[in-house]
Structure 1
Amino acid sequence: MRRMDDNTAHEAIIRRAGALDAAQVAEVWLRSYDAALPTVRRAHSDDEVRDYFRAVVIPERETWVVEEPGGPVVGVLVLQEGRIDQLYLAPDRRGQGLGDRFVALAKRRHPTGLDLWTFQVNTPAHRFYERHGFTEAERTDGSANEEGEPDIRYVWDGRGAATQNRPGR
């Protein structure tokens, strides 16, 4: 397994997803979800997830992918109406700056603010989003999501956007 260093992470390409990316995007989502959330019951089968990305996510939502030059898709970011709807990286690509680049892109696309939901059991995601200036806005018992899993809504209000990602902050 090759680890990307900081230079390689910056060489990775972020671009809008197209129809031909749907299969790879779904596979990243499936691998990432299973690795990050092993205790959370998925509400849909692998084939249903693949169909959803092909028929709904890619054609109807603002979907971005990250790929290594000449390589496969290793991450997906889905934005919808000021919300980070999905942010998933291949398990072997976490901690290499790709998620940081996705959040920076989301903030540029929605400079007045963003929100997102993450499961309460996903403490690495809490640390990641809090590091990027998101704050907890509410907690639920999970009765409103398909998984029935308690979750947290995070918000970033866009204030101080010009200084939040400066080195040393």
Structure 2
Amino acid sequence: MANIRICRFEPSFSSEAAAMWRLSKEKAIGQKEIHSFESHIHFLNHILPQDYEIYVALEHDRVVGIVAFNSAELNQLYVADDHQGKGIGEALLNLAKEHSGGSLFLYTFEINKNAQRFYEKHGFAEVGRGYENEENLPDIKYEWRRFEVKSS
């Protein structure tokens, strides 16, 4: 991650962040994004910031990752396809963990095996399944806890 810088999202990153996010998501789930590019920009600038902190990972001022979270939920985490496996997702995830209240939940698509491996590798455990998304794809709810309480 030598040339990677993580900073707060700014509207000037919108187009690049949305384009990277959409490509990464489309590759992960094998289908086109259902929302228009313009609505994705609006979501990123006006809807998501109401409830979530947003950060981007930049390489030479190019957006290569994005994360959106609050103290309880990891809402979005995407890394550019050509930058996966380089520690960027882990750095963004650790940022969310640091700002959490000690636990986080998230949903990922059942079809996205790479995401499942990633989250499980980083301490998340499956806690449920369903269809909690606009794509109507089966998804998995994961949860991470900073400290597991051991029963005696």
**TM-score, length of structure 2 as denominator length:** 0.89
Letter in 2 for 1:15: C
Describe the superposition over 1:116-138 as per-residue Cα deviations: whole angstroms up to 9, x where unpaired.
00011111100000000000000
Instruction: Give, in whole Å, the separation in 2 of the partners of 1:129 and 1:44.
Output: 26
Query: 1:117: which partner in 2?
Result: 107
Instruction: Give, in whole Å, the separation in 1 of the partners of 2:93 and 2:25.
Output: 18
Describe the superposition over 1:60-84 as per-residue Cα deviations: whole angstroms up to 9, x where unpaired.
530000001x331111000034111
1:92-103, aligned counterparts within 5 Å?
92-103=82-93
Instruction: Give, in whole Å, the separation in 1 of the partners of 2:2 and 2:143.
Output: 26
Structure 2 gap ranges (5+): none
Instruction: Give, in whole Å, the separation in 2 of the partners of 1:93 and 1:71.
Output: 14
Q: Is the 8 A contact 2:52 2:70 kept in 1?
A: yes
Matched, 1:38 2:30: yes
Q: Is the 8 A contact 2:6 2:56 kept in 1?
A: yes
Letter in 1 for 2:36: S
Q: Using a 3 Å threshold, how does the CA distance of structure 1 residues 97 and 36 change in structure 2: closer, same or farther?
A: same
* Larger proportion of strand: 2
Describe the superposition over 1:90-120 as per-residue Cα deviations: whole angstroms up to 9, x where unpaired.
1101011100111111111115100100011
Query: 1:6: which partner in 2?
Result: none
Query: 1:76: which partner in 2?
Result: 66
Query: 2:53: which partner in 1?
Result: 62
Please report how far the alpha carbon of residue 42 of structure 1 lies from its aligned counterpart in structure 2 after TM superposition: 3.3
Q: Is the 8 A contact 2:24 2:80 kept in 1?
A: yes
Query: 2:7: which partner in 1?
Result: 15
Aligned-residue CA RMSD (Å): 1.7
**Sequence identity percentage:** 32
**TM-score, length of structure 1 as denominator length:** 0.80
